[in-house]
Amino acid sequence: MTYDPSNIFAKILRGEIPSHRVYEDDAVVVFMDVMPQGPGHTLVVPKAPSRNLLDADPAALGPLFTVVQKVAMAVKKAFGADGVTILQFNEPASGQTVYHLHVHVIPRFEGIALKPHTGQMEKPEVLAENAGKIRAVLNG
């Protein structure tokens, strides 16, 4: 399959759909997942177009995972988490639903399971508050 530039993340990257941005550089944009599986669920998305890891330009992966690590440390600190789950899906059989490479960064807490990805959107004010917590650590 080929990359579809009309996917929701491509639209977010172009500013056609609003998002609660946390971080941006020349290669990557980080924003809050609107259907979080836990407080602070963040997405790290490369600006370079690719469906997923399988067709990505290898040159895009270094900057992407450098930011994933940076964001993982920030969300862990910002939310006082016990750990961080990093998820990345490739093709429908793996659970991928948006066909633009992206990495989920989710703060985790002992004894608390992830919420299902049900399609229920978080309140914008909660996403804005959570984005602010992460930005504060990143800019710390």
Residues with a catalytic annotation lie at: 102
Alpha helices in the chain (DSSP H): 8-13, 58-78, 124-138
Yes or no: say if 87 and 103 are a contact pair by the CB < 8 Å rule: yes
SS3 111: coil
Order the strands of the 83-87 sheet from edge to edge.
Answer: 21-24, 28-32, 42-46, 103-108, 83-87
| Cα-trace Rg, the chain | 14
